[in-house]
Chain A
Amino acid sequence: MDQAIFYGLALIAIVGALATIFFRNAMYSVLALVVTFFAMAGLYLQLKAEFVAVVHIIVYAGAIMVLFLFVVMMLNLNSVNTIIRSNVNIKWIAVLVGVGMAGILGYGTYLTTLPARGVNSTENGTVKVLGKMLFNEYLLPFELTSVLLIATMVGVIVLTKKEE
């Protein structure tokens, strides 16, 4: 059963990812990417990482994809979009590079001996455990994150402000 769900979600994620890069219309790409993200959230749940799954849906499928959708709609590219024949060779080279990279990484995975399985506990992915880690061992990075977000916020406002 677990196996069937894993393969189903993996298939949805891969098909969604392929759809993202092959759809001509950016709007469809965004929607396909949302499907991929939901499939990945399902995989996180299978790995018993509930907190990551929920944050993934809220941040990626919720916030980031809405931002993309917003930009796609605001630019309204479909009316402007002219189909320019691009260099076909480059497109095939890109696919070739991707497949080659997959081959190399796959071969590397095949050669590597994976670490032994640790003691696994269903507690690992809960808010309680992760929250304690975040506020003890990772307190400094966590606080620095807020500086990063403030800097980003100011940067975005400065960048998008229209010149007077």
Chain B
Amino acid sequence: MEKSIFDTVPLEQFIILSLILFCIGMVGVLRRRNMIVVFMSIELMLNAVNLLAVAFSAHRGDPSGQVFVFFVMVVAAAEVALGLAILMMIYRNVKSVDINALKQLKW
């Protein structure tokens, strides 16, 4: 039997850790009004899910989970590039990165 992290740290602790990181990211999205920080919080949430996927993948001994993480990373990279481009455009138009600058989107 090969040595594994799960001998000393049970899977539950990885779940709890990624759960905490996910919730911190969620608080960031709800709390901050700076669009850049909101984006970073979304990244944090995506990463928490990635960590969970890798933990389960290692736990089950099935590399599919890690391939999936790879795809999540690609989508996250694309999302950030587009999001920041949109953010630049908003900044150019309203000269602010405060979410309240886009209040009209509510209606």
Interface residues of B (CB under 8 A from A): 2, 4-9, 11-17, 19-28, 30-34, 36-37, 39-41, 43-44, 47, 50-51, 54-55, 57-64, 66-67, 69-71, 73-78, 80-82, 84-89, 91, 95-98
- CB–CB A3/B97 < 8 A: no
Question: Chain A contacts of B34 at CB under 8 A?
Answer: 26, 77
- CB–CB B12/A114 < 8 A: yes
- CB–CB A86/B23 < 8 A: no
- CB–CB B37/A130 < 8 A: no
- CB–CB B70/A60 < 8 A: no
A68 to B78, alpha carbons, bound, how many Å?
13
**Interface residue range, chain A:** 35 or more
Q: A14-B21, A33-B44, A84-B98 are in contact. Are A134 and B87 (CB under 8 A)?
A: no
- CB–CB B5/A21 < 8 A: no
Question: Chain B contacts of A149 at CB under 8 A?
Answer: 74, 77-78
- CB–CB B61/A119 < 8 A: yes
Q: A17-B21, A98-B26 are in contact. Are A120 and B61 (CB under 8 A)?
A: yes
The B-contacting residues of A in range 46-86, CB under 8 angstroms, are 46-49, 51-52, 55-56, 59-60, 63-64, 67-68, 71-72, 74-75, 77, 80, 84, 86
Q: A52-B54, A118-B60 are in contact. Are A67 and B2 (CB under 8 A)?
A: no
- CB–CB A52/B66 < 8 A: yes
- CB–CB A134/B26 < 8 A: no
Q: For residue B11, which residue of chain A has the nearest CB?
A: A114
Q: A2-B8, A29-B40, A91-B31 are in contact. Are A49 and B64 (CB under 8 A)?
A: no
Most buried by A among B32, B66, B84: B66
